[in-house]
A and B are shown apart, each in its own frame.
Chain A
Amino acid sequence: MATSTPTRDAYAPPPRGSQHKPVDARRQTWRSRLWRFDDKASPYAYIAPFFLVFGAFGLYPLLYTGWIAMHRVEMTGMDQMEWVGWENFDKILHDSEFWTAVSNTFLIGVISVVPQLLVALGLAHLLNYKLRASTFWRTVILTPYATSVASAALVFALVFRADGGLLNWALHFVGLGDTNWANGHWTSKIAIAVIVIWRWTGYNALIYLAAMQAVPSDLYEAASLDGASRWQQFRKVTIPSLRPTILFTIVISTIGSMQLFGEPLLLEGGTLGATGGNENQYETLSVYLYNYGWNLGHLGPAAAVAWAMLALLLIIAAVNWLIGRFVRKSAV
């Protein structure tokens, strides 16, 4: 489209007071006004659908959640709302379970995001070689991403089951005793991280691969002429070129791990899943929110948790931005 449309300036109306007849001039100004209006207004029309949908399904729920967070609302009587101000926030901030959930969310986030991105980087590097049936391999690493959280979590729940689980069965052969995976503080977090890693590694690998293919090949040629090994090329050429992409995947993965919900909920299922284990050992913030709202039926504090999560995400985003700025500066 851009190629067939000449630039705007080429059609700029002639300045006033030129040789044209008055009628023509009037027509010209009318036309040019319409034109300017079109120029200014049409982009808004193009983007309007998104903002309408966002307003209805993003902004309104966000604000309404904030409104609820200031009220006492029970699931048994959602039409009765009683203003309580900041009490709900006070309540959750003084709830040790909330802080357990915060630390669980971060720990699970770290032990899932770090290995996942490292493995993705390695996989992308391998896929970047000349391979036979490369499309096949690229498709295959994306398949875990295409499965639903529910089915992935349910399958892994079977793998990690204490009693008759696939993993314990396998460990049994190397002489290791039974582990009650969902029950332990670290084992349960590892189990959940494994599900996350399994689902998202391929997705990140493809993002890295796309970025890698944009790296100019003469950089590699120059590097190999200088006698750099494959590993050195990876470290000195690939990684620096991928820096913005890596930052992007870190941001996306961090947001994803903040919202971690299906995996912990389904690891054991039932009441235990909804409270993140019997000692909340793998309860994430989303699960805490879910339990407060849908199981206990107290919607006010649940809404407050939602806003606390948003606040945490903003803090993380700020930290990311600072790091990003620092990285860019040091790169120059």
Chain B
Amino acid sequence: MRITRTVAGRSRRVAVLATTGLTASALLLTGCSSDDSDSNESSDANGKITLTVADYGQFGYKEAGLFAKYHELHPNITVKEDTTADEKVYYPKLLQQLNAGSGLADVQGLEVGRIKELVDTKADQFADLSKVIDVKEFVSWKEKQATTADGKVIGAGTDIGPMSLCYNTELFKKAGLPTDRKEVAAKITGGWEDYLKLGEEYKKKAPAGTYFMDSASAMYNAVVSSNAKQYYDESGKAIYKESPSVQQGWNLAAEAADKKLTQGLAQFSDPWAAALRKGTIATVACPAWMAGQISVNAGDANKGKWDITTAPGATAANWGGSFLGVPKSGKNVDEATKLVKWLTAPEQQAAVFKAIGSFPSNTGAYELPDVKNATLPYFNDAPIGQIYADEAKSIPETILGPKDAAIKDTISTQINNMEQRGTKPDAAWEAATKSIDKVIG
């Protein structure tokens, strides 16, 4: 009898244990896949809607108070912004979320260097905005960049980056250079070669520990940006090895590194921000959005020390600029497209421009007083509205490729090596092409 009881008891125990174990592991297995079920819950019983906006860098909506204003206009809608500082961190995450079809915000920021790749491969996951926004309102080339072959528009243009030159008047004065923006402009009308000559002039009497430019890769970007043909040709073939604009930019960067005109800082890195704060940089190639970056990083202590003038040379350049897209998987696609339309309308783009200096892509904004008469107090009241609007008119329509951003980053890294480590231009170019071939895959 005792035996029987023990055996039965044991097997019951085994059964219980086994079942518990299996159930537990089954729960574990299933539990892991269902934990994000309520993160997309954005509309509650009262019809209140929360729209999420995911972006990177500085879109300026918070600074311009636009989300608060939208809430005032639409009391049932609250907008939450999730900003990633570095676009290079933001984009891979966006791709992963697009692949998974979950975790996406209602509105996603899209960078111009990535837009071609997204148009080519992910267009079917974004709502078509062509019916919502009027593409003719934007500068002629802007919406073409976000349009698929069959006419779908996946992104509404936010800002563009007409190029100017930002300079530190205090350092210019100490180095015996003119500080007036017209006089500075006159010295560099011949183009980026003149800019390097100005750099040599600066270096002769420069205050110790200061540099003419922050980074040669920034100058390289500015040079390449003023050309229609950059890394790809019309047929979509990567031509960066033969591209004249890339060669010109590379050679100028090598020269700047060789003459030690640059501090050799990777832009947007911590040391770069620290250098702006300390005031060791005399000039920064300055697409419109860069003005915001400078004022934020250099801080209040440097207010009024900076000024803005036209970029070297006669050809205008556009560097950067973003789009807002609406992923189809969102729960409030309609409300999100309405928000995007509102955010990219002239008045709102003008407000962003006023707040942080990102230049509107919606031409309707150029006639608004906030843009037309805009001056930037941080930059010695520079008439930026006028400077950038003039530039914007002559920006060439550039040919984009899927890996523009990655190619640009790779070349920038190698330019950085020339500046910081004295890597010989040939070796750096070889390293760059090798990496880029890997990027293109």
Residues of A bordering B, CB below 8 Å: 11, 31, 34-35, 38, 42, 45-46, 48-49, 52-53, 56, 74-78, 95-97, 161-164, 180, 183, 268-272, 274-275, 278-279, 292, 294-298
Contacts and interface: CB of A to CB of B under 8 A. Distances in A.
Interface in B119-172: 120-122
Interface residues of B, number: 50
A295 to B, nearest CB: 6
A180 B435 CA distance: 24
Contacts of B394: none
Interface string B418-431: 00110100000001
Interface string B258-292: 00000000101111001100000000000000000
Given A75-B92, A78-B99, A278 B21 contact: no
A76 B121 contact: yes
B18 A45 contact: yes
> A-B pairs with the 8 shortest C-beta distances?
A45-B18, A76-B121, A49-B25, A42-B14, A49-B21, A294-B92, A52-B25, A298-B441
B21 A75 contact: no
B17 to A, nearest CB: 7
25 contacts: A11-B3, A38-B10, A45-B14, A46-B17, A48-B21, A48-B22, A48-B25, A53-B25, A76-B122, A95-B438, A97-B438, A163-B271, A268-B269, A270-B268, A270-B269, A271-B266, A272-B266, A272-B413, A274-B88, A278-B417, A278-B421, A279-B421, A295-B92, A296-B438, A296-B439
B96 interface: yes
Nearest to B420: A183
A52 B18 CA distance: 13
A297 B7 contact: no
B409 A75 contact: no
B28 A297 contact: no
Majority SS at the chain A contact face: helix
Given A53-B29, A270-B89, A296 B441 contact: yes
A147 to B, nearest CB: 21
B407 to A, nearest CB: 11
Contacts of B420: 180, 183, 278
> A53, A292, A295: which has the most chain B beta carbons within 10 Å?
A295
- Residue picked from A34, A48, A274, A297, most chain B C-beta under 10 Å: A297
Interface of B: 3-4, 6-7, 10-11, 14, 17-18, 21-22, 24-26, 28-29, 86, 88-89, 92, 95-96, 99, 117, 120-122, 266, 268-271, 274-275, 402, 406, 409, 413-414, 416-417, 420-421, 423, 431, 434-435, 438-439, 441
A75 B118 CA distance: 11
A275 B409 CA distance: 11
Contacts of A45: 14, 17-18, 21-22
A271 B122 contact: no
A22 to B, nearest CB: 18
A46 B17 CA distance: 7
Contacts of A278: 266, 413-414, 416-417, 420-421
A271 B88 contact: yes
B269 A272 contact: yes
B413 A275 contact: yes
Nearest to A272: B266
Contact of A270 (B26, B86, B438): B86
Nearest to B99: A78
A78 B439 CA distance: 17
Contact of A52 (B29, B88, B89, B413): B29
Contacts of A46: 17-18, 21
B116 to A, nearest CB: 11
A38 B413 CA distance: 65
A162 B271 contact: yes
A208 B344 CA distance: 63
Given A38-B11, A42-B14, A272-B269, A164 B274 contact: yes
A270 B29 contact: no
Contacts of B268: 270
Nearest to B280: A163
A163 B416 CA distance: 16
B3 A296 contact: no
Contacts of B14: 38, 42, 45
B79 to A, nearest CB: 28
A183 B416 CA distance: 11
A272 B272 CA distance: 13
Contacts of A161: 270-271
B22 A49 contact: yes
Contacts of B6: 11
Given A34-B7, A76-B402, 20 more contacts: A31-B3, A34-B11, A42-B18, A45-B18, A48-B22, A52-B26, A52-B29, A75-B95, A76-B122, A97-B435, A161-B271, A268-B269, A270-B88, A272-B269, A274-B88, A278-B413, A279-B417, A294-B92, A296-B406, A296-B439
Contacts of A38: 7, 10-11, 14
A46 B409 CA distance: 53
